[in-house]
Amino acid sequence: MAKRPTRVTNKKMVNLALQGGGAHGAFTWGVLDRLLEDGRLGFEGISGTSAGAMNAVALADGWYGNGADGAREKLETFWRAISREGSFSITNAQQEVLDRFMSFWLWPGMLGKETMAKLFPMAPWFNPAGTAQLTSPYETNPLNINPLKDVVEKLIDFERVARCQDFKLFIAATRVHSGKIRLFRRADVTADAVLASACLPYAFQAVEVDGEPHWDGGYTGNPALFPFFTETECEDIVLIQINPIERAETPKTSREILERISEITFNSSLLREFRAIDFVNRLIEDGRLEGGDYRRNRVHRIDASDELAALGAGSKFNTSWAFFTRLRDVGREAASAFLKAHYDDVGKRGTLDLREAFS
């Protein structure tokens, strides 16, 4: 086994928060690739949900093997594998399910009957009258086909993830029965935990972990920030955000309405955490909170809202390698812009106006 890389301690330490967002998770890959290449930021904790969870475990696996270079290599290998041109050969039925995951919030009927019939020829999405109808994966995918399972299990060495102690890992999923969040920490992160975090209920049957069913973590933590408050010492959080919080226009078509509903749903937990951080920060500033139980948190954000929004909802179906590398390049550019503008702020002041974000 290769010699473990020695952790560099003179870096500015941050906690990374990785949102889920289907195929647009390739943007996060690009951000991570640039941050790892730059090397001036170290990671104390990484929280990831859905596609963000996959990026997180790929990073941890590669990092354990060969530090930043290994993490960058593993991230590229992972995204190439799940592309249509990837090395993992999958059937048409598997590709259908993978497309549904990558769509993230494209609900059946949003693309029209003919398009949906072409994309999902095996699924009875429409009733005889032609009205869009959401059906259960227990009906449309009774064999519980999940091509992500094959890719995650073959590409990610979870024993290495568990041994990677250079940063803490938090993967979020939603408990189906209670509707509460479940966090999987580094030692408990398995392929099933990652698949649970990415289990969109209209695409996959619930993933059971320890006999309990789970759905996508985006419903309760996209991503979860609260473990950083008590389980890490670092006060800087860098959020890599894929899903826009605000849109300037009122959605009017069924496609636009459903897309916006999904965006709001998957951002709601994040906005609640923004509000909590801002509330505690203000209490500390006003001298109304003292002692070691509470601390300020400085929040930063790397996003490309305009570029990702311009791609349209349909782009989340795009699993081509060319599209993934395009998003990677956008992510690298966004990370470079952040480092240029705000590297000096890390450790001193937050650069995201939390109150403006949630108000």
Measured distance CA(258)–CA(141) in Å, rounded: 23
**Spatial separation of the C-alpha atoms in residues 145 and 147, rounded to whole Å:** 6
User: In whole angstroms, what is the distance from residue 57 CA to residue 226 CA?
Assistant: 19
- pLDDT confidence of residue 126: 31
Mean pLDDT of 30-34: 98
- Give the separation between CA 83 and CA 169, rounded to whole angstroms: 26
Q: Which region holds residue 173: left if phi is over 0, alpha if psi is between -120 and 50, else beta?
A: beta
In this structure, what are the phi and psi dihedrals at residue 11, rounded to the nearest 5 degrees? -85, 160
pLDDT of residue 95: 57
Residue range 94-98: mean pLDDT, rounded: 57
Write out pLDDT tens, residues 152-168.
999 999 999 999 999 99
Q: Return the minimum-mean-pLDDT range out of 7-16, 19-28, 31-40.
A: 7-16
Q: What contacts 237, CB < 8 A, 6 or more positions away?
A: 14, 15, 16, 17, 225, 228, 297, 298, 299, 300
* Token digits of residue 44: 């104390």
d(CA 202, CA 135): 7
Mean of per-residue pLDDT scores for the chain: 83
Amino acid type, 334: A
168-175 and 212-216 beta bridge pairing: antiparallel
The answer to whether 181 touches 158, Cβ cutoff 8 Å, is: no
The token duo for 3 is 């010699």
Q: Residue 324: what are its φ and ψ, rounded to 5°?
A: -60, -45
pLDDT band at 115 (very low <50, low <70, confident <90, very high): very low
pLDDT tens track for 36-85? 999 999 999 999 999 999 999 999 999 998 999 999 999 999 999 988 76
The pLDDT of 218-222, averaged and rounded, is 93
Q: What is the largest CA-CA distance in the chain?
A: 65
Q: Any idea how long the chain is?
A: 359
